[in-house]
Structure 1
Amino acid sequence: MTVIVRDLRPDVPADAEGFARVRRLALPYILFTSDSVRHNALHTHPDAHYRPLVAEEDGEVIGTAQVHLAHDSTEPGQGLVNVYVRPDRTGRGAGGLLVRTAEERLAALGTTRLLSWVLDEPGNRAFAERHGYRGSRSAHFLRLDLAHGTLPPVPEVPADVELRTGRDFAADPRPLFDLDAETTRDEPGDVDFTLTDYEAWLEQSWRHPLLDLDLTVAACVAGRPVAFSVAYTDPGTRRYSTAMTGTARAFRGRGLAKLAKTHSLHRARAAGFAEAFTGNDTGNEPMIAINKRLGYEICATEVRHVRELG
């Protein structure tokens, strides 16, 4: 049995579904569908040089890699490599082959620093260290049992605040882009991302197949969104995920992000979703506290690993 690594063919259904299946098995805390895999492959910004890879054994996709430049960072030369292999197909050399192929491609693009998220488990961390990566900051995955858990009551909406859904901005989503850009700049992390390209945001984020406009909730003051909770959903598996939660700087401290997220979660449960997932940098203590008050529990941790290229 020979393992080969090749480019993902996004228009081939077996490739997109195979990629999504590997990710669901290896990383069940993030939503992946064949449609989302295809969308990311076709609509990620060209400057990212996004090249998803698959490891194939006897015609079956057993491993995956997301490979691209951090093109929207203020620091040039950073490449992102996230490798996952089906848990029941490890030990066949797929992971190492994916890493080497990804590194060669990013090095050819002038990358000098590689970053990779690795699940905080002994085998995963040992694999990363064998390939020259050192551990850096960490982040938690959190899970909420929507079907059987207890959500806090829906909080009262302040008199000067109006709640709107993402669908209310369908004709003009620019205000949500502006809020997304401001809150993204303040997210803790070892890569500082900036959102400046509205058309690219429309193509990649606003038209993302997992984005649920009816469950995305924004708190608005004087008609302007000042806090929001962005929802991704996969109705086929009844799973819900928070893609982003944040508040404009001038409106922080009023509990508006929690307000938006609580309303979104109540709507998700009413719509029949059974599980909710979210993720937080371990340094983002305010958001972790909010999520724990909402009933989330930490279910896994991942550690960013870094390798400097000479």
Structure 2
Amino acid sequence: MTVTVRDIRPETPADTDAFARIRRRTLPYMISTGASLAYDLRHIHPDAHYRPLLAVEDGEPIGTAQVGLVYDSPEPGHAFLNVCVDPDRVGRGAGSLLVRTAEEFLRGLGATRLHTWVPDAPAPRAFAEKRGYRPRRSAHFLRLDLALGQLPPLQPPPPGVDLRTGTDFGDDPRPLFALDAETIEDEPSDVDREFTDYEAWLKETWNHPLLSRELTSVTVVDGRPVAFSAARTDGTRYGTVMTGTLRAYRGRGFAKLAKNHSLHRARAAGLTEAFTGNDVGNGPMLAINKWFGYEICATEVQYVRELR
């Protein structure tokens, strides 16, 4: 049995579908499809040098890697590589070959610090540490059963506050870009980001095929968007990719208001599972998700390797 690594062929559905299938098997709490991967390859910022890889054993895809530079960080040299191997194909060398190929590629781009997310389990953590990666921070994945779970009842917004959906901003989404840009700056992370490229945001976020503008909720105060809950869906599952509030409006329940309305609409649309993720240090958001009924379903640890 021979394992090789090659680039994804974005024009080949068999490749993109295999990539998505392996990621769903290893990360069932993350929403991805072959079509969304093909879209990413066509529209992600060129400075990211995004390069998804497939590990193939005798013609059968058995592993994947997402590889690229953190192009919007003010500090150069940050890069990412996230490896997934089909659980039924572990131990055949696919993970090691994917890591070596990714590291060689990133080193050639001048990367000096590599970030990777690893399942919080003994074998994956040992795999990372054996290759010189060191643990930094952790994050939880959370799941909510929309079919059987009880959501908090809907509450009418207070005076001066409106609830809208992403579709209401179809003609001019720039106010949502400003909202997203400020909230993402406060996300717990080891990498600072300068979220200033509106055109890139349109391609990578607003026009992404998994983003549901209908299920995305926005809290508006006196005509200004101040909080939001952005949703993605593959048609059966729902995922919150960002929930946040402008700094000046925090502590007033506006993000919770937006997310509750989004979850209720998702359940009414027939979606059965809701997923989200939070850094373990993000106490306020973890508390909000616990209030909704989310339960932790998995934990990952971010590992970092210095290449200097």
Q: What TM-score range do you get, normalising by the shorter chain?
A: over 0.9
Q: Is the 8 A contact 1:63 1:86 kept in 2?
A: yes
Deviation at 1:265, TM superposition (A): 0.2
> Please, what TM-score do these two structures have when normalized by structure 2?
0.99
Amino acid at match of 1:146: L
Residue in structure 1 matched with residue 190 of structure 2 by the alignment: 190
2:192 counterpart of 1:205: no
Cα-to-partner distance string for 1:143-165 (whole Å, 9 max, x where unaligned): 00000011111122111111110
> Please, what TM-score do these two structures have when normalized by structure 1?
0.98
Deviation at 1:73, TM superposition (A): 1.1
Deviation at 1:233, TM superposition (A): 0.4
Residues in 1 aligned to 2:41 and 2:57: alpha-carbon distance in whole angstroms: 22
Residues in 2 aligned to 1:261 and 1:49: alpha-carbon distance in whole angstroms: 33
2:275 counterpart of 1:277: yes
Task: Please give the secondary structure, in 1, of the residue aligned with 2:135.
Answer: strand
Q: 2:291 aligned to 286, 293, 304, which one?
A: 293
2:98 counterpart of 1:79: no
Cα-to-partner distance string for 1:225-268 (whole Å, 9 max, x where unaligned): 10000000011xx1000010000011101000000000000000
Task: Please give the secondary structure, in 2, of the residue aligned with 1:244.
Answer: strand
Residues in 2 aligned to 1:170 and 1:57: alpha-carbon distance in whole angstroms: 45
Residue in structure 2 matched with residue 93 of structure 1 by the alignment: 93
Question: After the TM superposition, which segments of 4 or more aligned residues of structure 1 sit over 2 Å from their partners?
Answer: none
Deviation at 1:184, TM superposition (A): 0.6
Task: Please give the secondary structure, in 1, of the residue aligned with 2:137.
Answer: strand
Task: Please give the secondary structure, in 2, of the residue aligned with 1:68.
Answer: strand
Deviation at 1:194, TM superposition (A): 2.2
Residue in structure 2 matched with residue 266 of structure 1 by the alignment: 264
> Percent identity among equivalent residues?
67
2:19 counterpart of 1:40: no
Residues in 1 aligned to 2:96 and 2:85: alpha-carbon distance in whole angstroms: 10
Amino acid at match of 1:18: A
Cα-to-partner distance string for 1:78-130 (whole Å, 9 max, x where unaligned): 11010010111111100000000000000001111111000101111111111
Residue in structure 1 matched with residue 105 of structure 2 by the alignment: 105
Residues in 2 aligned to 1:155 and 1:7: alpha-carbon distance in whole angstroms: 49
- The number of residue pairs the alignment matches comes to 308
Residues in 2 aligned to 1:244 and 1:79: alpha-carbon distance in whole angstroms: 22
Residues in 2 aligned to 1:257 and 1:91: alpha-carbon distance in whole angstroms: 44
Residues in 2 aligned to 1:78 and 1:117: alpha-carbon distance in whole angstroms: 14
